[in-house]
Amino acid sequence: MLETVKLSKTFKDKKAVDEIDLYLQEGESVGLLGPNGAGKSTTISMISSLLKPTSGDVRLNGKSTIKDPSELRKVLGVVPQEIALYEELSALENLKFFGKIYQVKKDVLDNRIQEVLEMVGLKDRQKELVKTFSGGMKRRVNIAAALLHQPKIIILDEPTVGIDPQSRNHILETVKKLNEENGTTVLYTSHYMEEVEQLCNRVYIMDHGKVVASGSKSELLSILSSEDTIQVQLSKQSNELMKSIKGIEYVRQVEETNDGLRIICKKGSNILSDLVHATEILGIQISHYQVEVPSLEDVFLHLTGKTLRD
Ligand SMILES: Nc1ncnc2c1ncn2[C@@H]1O[C@H](COP(=O)(O)OP(=O)(O)OP(=O)(O)O)[C@@H](O)[C@H]1O
């Protein structure tokens, strides 16, 4: 349906997006994950025809949207990171204004505004001025505006950053419903792995302008199937123990935790007996030992060396 082909953007000498190939199939909900500066917003701006790529293409049903974005504009709704609303107008007045911009027909606009207000849970607040709204409520008005022309595809750029939990839940539920009940195709960028796990059936992980991995959750988790992550609680912390564990050839990474160590090592290795041996020499007791079930967050850390909130 919608795809990017070797999509790239360079700002002066900075390659913000580097030959990205993404695709969205009709009815899918796809996550775009990456740390700050990975290139997510730049990618989204190019997909939405708000920013011209340095090279590469964006295609809707095989046709370039860079040469002619008119078809894309009809079927795409974009919720940008920045709130773009008139503070001195009510939610209703803002939506009337956006309805005109999106060229929603006059005879259906009033009904459509009520529908989208219902979707984002702001029907009973529609007459209040936007300047009196919380950040989360403003973002919900933004989402409502992007939905006015009944887009087949919606792109949301980190819609839940810095907002109250009630609005966050509303937004997540709205996006889920849009995808599952209305069949709207969704591209959702986020720092929050759990949101993407909840909402999306496929994920792209971006870092330094490139896609470093993509696939369903189970496909991404299989990246880690060659490794075990082990949490150990110890009677005391010891640099010497860290050093000795780090020195074992099948150990890939060791981190200190609040009460012990987190060890990433080759699957099926003999870490328990080596650990027992090393702690005994140093007079340290192991109070708990657990092999972790990996999460997408672990995959992300493995691929980028960063946590999502870095
Ligand atoms: N207009 C611009 N001029 C120069 N550099 C830019 C511009 N826009 C983005 N960049 C740079 O491009 C890189 C990618 O930025 P982008 O905003 O796309 O990342 P992001 O993944 O969306 O990050 P965040 O999660 O912080 O929004 C960053 O290094 C950023 O500083």
Q: What ipTM was estimated for this complex? A: 0.94
Q: Is residue 309 part of a domain?
A: no
What spacing in Å lies between the alpha carbon of 62 and ligand 1's midpoint?
28
Residue 306 confidence (pLDDT) above 80 = no
Residue the block writes with tokens 């912390």: 237
Mind listing the pLDDT tens digit for each residue in 12-69?
888 999 999 999 999 999 999 888 888 999 999 999 998 999 999 999 999 999 988 9
Query: Residue 297's domain is classified under what CATH number?
Result: 3.30.70.980
Is the domain of 205 the same as that of 184?
Answer: yes
Is the domain of 206 the same as that of 250?
Answer: no
Mind listing the pLDDT tens digit for each residue in 152-165?
999 999 888 888 88
Is the domain of 245 the same as that of 181?
Answer: no
Is the domain of 198 the same as that of 297?
Answer: no
Which of 18, 33, 41 should be mutated for ligand 1, with most atoms under 8 A from CB?
41
Is the domain of 197 the same as that of 111?
Answer: yes
What spacing in Å lies between the alpha carbon of 11 and ligand 1's midpoint?
9
Per-residue confidence (pLDDT) for residue 308, from 0 to 100: 62
Among 215, 233, 262, the domain boundary falls at 215
Full-model pTM: 0.78
Per-residue confidence (pLDDT) for residue 301, from 0 to 100: 79
Is the domain of 276 the same as that of 182?
Answer: no
Per-residue confidence (pLDDT) for residue 113, from 0 to 100: 94
Q: Is residue 243 part of a domain?
A: yes
Q: Is residue 111 part of a domain?
A: yes
11 lines ligand 1 (CB under 6 A): yes
Q: Is residue 76 part of a domain?
A: yes
Q: Is residue 285 part of a domain?
A: yes
Residue with CA nearest ligand 1 atom 16: 39
Which residue in 128, 142, 126, 132 sits closest to 174, CA to CA? 142
Is the domain of 73 the same as that of 153?
Answer: yes
38 lines ligand 1 (CB under 6 A): yes
Is the domain of 135 the same as that of 198?
Answer: yes
Q: Is residue 43 part of a domain?
A: yes
Mind listing the pLDDT tens digit for each residue in 166-212?
888 888 988 999 899 989 999 999 878 788 888 898 999 999 999 98
The lowest-confidence range among 93-97, 190-194, 231-235 is: 190-194
Mind listing the pLDDT tens digit for each residue in 246-284?
999 889 889 899 999 999 888 777 888 899 999 999 999
Per-residue confidence (pLDDT) for residue 220, from 0 to 100: 81
Is the domain of 51 the same as that of 138?
Answer: yes
- Measured in degrees and rounded to the nearest 5, phi and psi for residue 111 equal -65, -40
106 lines ligand 1 (CB under 6 A): no
Which of 4, 9, 10, 11 should be mutated for ligand 1, with most atoms under 8 A from CB?
11
Of the spans 88-92, 98-102, 217-221, 228-232, which averages the highest pLDDT?
A: 88-92
47 lines ligand 1 (CB under 6 A): no
Query: Residue 46's domain is classified under what CATH number?
Result: 3.40.50.300
45 lines ligand 1 (CB under 6 A): no
Residue 229 confidence (pLDDT) above 80 = yes
Is the domain of 53 the same as that of 102?
Answer: yes
Is the domain of 239 the same as that of 269?
Answer: yes
Among 215, 236, 259, the domain boundary falls at 215
Q: In total, how many domains does the chain have? A: 2
Q: DSSP readout, the chain?
A: -EEEEEEEEEETTEEEEEEE--EE-TT-EEEEE--TTSSHHHHHHHHTTSS--SEEEEEETTEETTT--HHHHHHEEEE-SS----TTSBHHHHHHHHHHHTT--HHHHHHHHHHHHHHTT-GGGTTSBGGGS-HHHHHHHHHHHHHTT--SEEEEESTTTT--HHHHHHHHHHHHHHHHTT--EEEEEES-HHHHHHH-SEEEEEETTEEEEEE-HHHHHGGGTTEEEEEEEESS--HHHHHHHHTSTTEEEEEE-SSEEEEEEETT--HHHHHHHHHHHHT--EEEEEEEPP-HHHHHHHHHSS-TT-
What value does the mean pLDDT take over residues 64-86? 89
Based on the number of CB atoms within 10 Å of its own CB, is 287 exposed (0-12), middle (13-18) or buried (19 or more)?
Answer: exposed
Query: Is there a contact between 22 and 210 (Cβ–Cβ < 8 Å)?
Result: no
42 lines ligand 1 (CB under 6 A): yes
Is the domain of 209 the same as that of 175?
Answer: yes
Q: Is residue 310 part of a domain?
A: no
What spacing in Å lies between the alpha carbon of 271 and ligand 1's midpoint?
42
Among 157, 184, 215, the domain boundary falls at 215
Per-residue confidence (pLDDT) for residue 309, from 0 to 100: 59
Cα 93–Cα 86–Cα 195 angle in degrees, nearest 5: 95
Residue with CA nearest ligand 1 atom 18: 39
39 lines ligand 1 (CB under 6 A): yes
Residue 191 CA, closest ligand 1 atom number? 25
Distance CA 103, CA 65 (A): 19
Domain that holds residue 140: 2-215
Q: Is residue 129 part of a domain?
A: yes
